[in-house]
Structure 1
Amino acid sequence: MAQVSLIGLYLIAIVAANLIVARFGPSTAIINAFLFIGLDITARDRLHDLWRGRQLWLRMAVLIAAGSLLSWLMSGAAGKIALASFIAFAASGAVDTIIYTLLRKKAWMVRVNGSNVVSAAVDSIIFPWLAFGSPIWWVVLGQFIAKVAGGAIWAFLIDQVTRRRSAKLA
Structure 2
Amino acid sequence: MTTVYDFSARRIEGNEQSLADFRDQVLLVVNTASQCGQTPQYTGLQKLYKAYRRQGFSVLGFPCDQFGHQEPGDENEIANFCSTIYHVTFPMFAKIDVNGSKALPLYNWLKREAGGLLGGRIKWNFTKFLIGRDGNVIARYAPTQSPEKLTDKIEAALAIPAPSREAND
Q: TM-score, normalised by structure 1?
A: 0.31
Which structure is higher in helix share? 1
Q: Scaled by the length of structure 2, what TM-score is found?
A: 0.31
Give the strand-richer structure, 1 or 2.
2
